[in-house]
């Protein structure tokens, strides 16, 4: 069973989707062992507490430098014995100490179809404002591994969402969450925990379940 640490800064609806997926057995072989918040007033902390999950706050503004913040974050992840780190609306950028300690073990959800409307400055409603102002007809969400390029790591899953003529940034944000984010984030976490994500030449392949069952059987000595 892998220990999952979820990093949040806001309302925590993606965290809720992960908690629900764990309860419903969609996430097998993984358990949310701690929630780390970048803000002490994030409602996500409430959701974690209501579900008996250990919480802590590691806020960038409490540290003199980005390096000290990064170090504190790493300590929190280590003390939670995290095997997988999920960024679910965490607003601070992770530094090198954390990303190299958890190489290929940090995943992020971004509310657009990367490579559109992503990178520095594209967060929250800004992403949806940009999509509407460009006039794209389809947007969506992306789950990807975190690398040292903001929103630039290998893509794990994407799901498209249609844009309507009368969309506002607010209702588009909500629809992208409902139709895409809350679906693909738990799915990606589940694939990771089952060992089904294979990273080759910077691309992710989701291995079919029969390959995983065979690998396990081979490991156990069954042929
Ligand atoms: C989501 O839109 C996610 O894609 C983005 O931040 C938002 C977090 O929302 N990275 P919530 O806190 O999970 O409700």
Residue to probe by mutation, ligand 1, list 113, 150, 181, most atoms within 8 Å of CB:
181
pLDDT at 211: 72
Instruction: Supply the pLDDT for residue 221.
Output: 59
Cβ distance 37 to 8 under 8 Å?
A: yes
In this prediction, residues 37-44 reach a mean pLDDT of: 98
Chain centroid to Cα 178, Å, comes to 15
Tens digits of residue pLDDT in 115-125: 999 999 999 99
Q: Which runs of E-coded beta strand occur in 10-115? A: 30-37, 54-57, 84-87, 106-110
For the entire predicted model, the pTM comes to: 0.94
Find the 174 Cα to ligand 1 centroid distance in Å. Answer: 10
Per-residue pLDDT tens over the stretch 47-67: 999 999 999 999 999 999 999
**Which ligand 1 atom lies nearest to the CA of residue 87?**
10
pLDDT at 133: 98
pLDDT, position 153: 95
The ligand 1 site (C-beta within 6 Å) comprises: 8, 10-15, 44, 88-89, 109-111, 177, 181
The CATH number that applies at residue 188 is: 3.40.50.170
Q: Which class for 101: exposed (0-12), middle (13-18), buried (19 or more C-beta within 10 A)?
A: middle
**Ligand 1, atom 7: nearest CA belongs to which residue?**
89
Question: Which whole-number Å values give the CA distances from 5 to 36, 83, 168, in the listed order?
Answer: 7, 8, 33
Integer Cα distance of 7 and 15 in angstroms: 9
Residues 70-125 have pLDDT tens digits of: 999 999 999 999 999 999 999 999 999 999 999 999 999 999 999 999 999 999 99
Task: List the domain range (segments joined by +) for residue 79.
Answer: 2-219
The model's pLDDT over 128-177, given as tens digits with 9 standing for 90+, comes to 999 999 999 999 999 999 998 999 999 999 999 999 999 999 999 999 99
What is the count of structural domains for the chain?
Answer: 1
Token pair of 147 as six digits: 């690398």
Q: What is the pLDDT of residue 220?
A: 64
Best residue among 41, 87, 88 to mutate for probing ligand 1, ranked by most atoms within 8 Å of CB: 88
Q: What is the pLDDT of residue 223?
A: 45
Rounded Cα gap, residues 154 and 152, in angstroms = 7
- Per-residue pLDDT band for 209 (boundaries 50, 70, 90) equals confident
Region 23-28 average pLDDT: 94
User: Which residues form the catalytic set?
Assistant: 110
What's the rounded mean pLDDT across residues 165-194?
A: 98
């Amino acid at each position: 069973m892998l220990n999952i640490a979820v990093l949040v800064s806001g309302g925590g609806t993606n965290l809720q989707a992960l908690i629900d997926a764990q309860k419903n057995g969609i996430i097998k072989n993984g358990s949310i062992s701690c929630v780390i918040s970048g803000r002490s007033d994030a409602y996500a902390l409430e959701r974690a507490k209501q579900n008996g999950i250990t919480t802590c706050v590691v806020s960038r503004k409490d540290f003199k430098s980005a390096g000290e913040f990064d170090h504190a974050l790493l300590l929190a992840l280590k003390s939670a014995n995290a095997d997988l780190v999920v960024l679910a609306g965490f607003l601070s950028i992770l530094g090198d100490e954390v990303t190299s300690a958890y190489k290929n073990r940090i995943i992020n959800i971004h509310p657009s179809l990367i490579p559109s409307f992503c990178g520095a400055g594209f967060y929250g409603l800004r992403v949806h404002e940009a999509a509407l102002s460009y006039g794209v007809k389809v947007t969506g969400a992306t789950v990807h591994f975190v690398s040292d390029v903001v929103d630039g790591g290998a893509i794990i899953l994407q799901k498209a969402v249609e844009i309507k003529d009368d969309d506002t940034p607010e209702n588009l944000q909500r629809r992208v969450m409902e139709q895409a984010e809350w679906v693909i984030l738990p799915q990606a976490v589940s694939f990771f925990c089952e060992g089904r994500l294979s990273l080759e030449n910077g691309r992710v392949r989701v291995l079919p379940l029969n390959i995983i069952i065979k690998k396990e059987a081979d490991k156990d000595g069954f042929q």
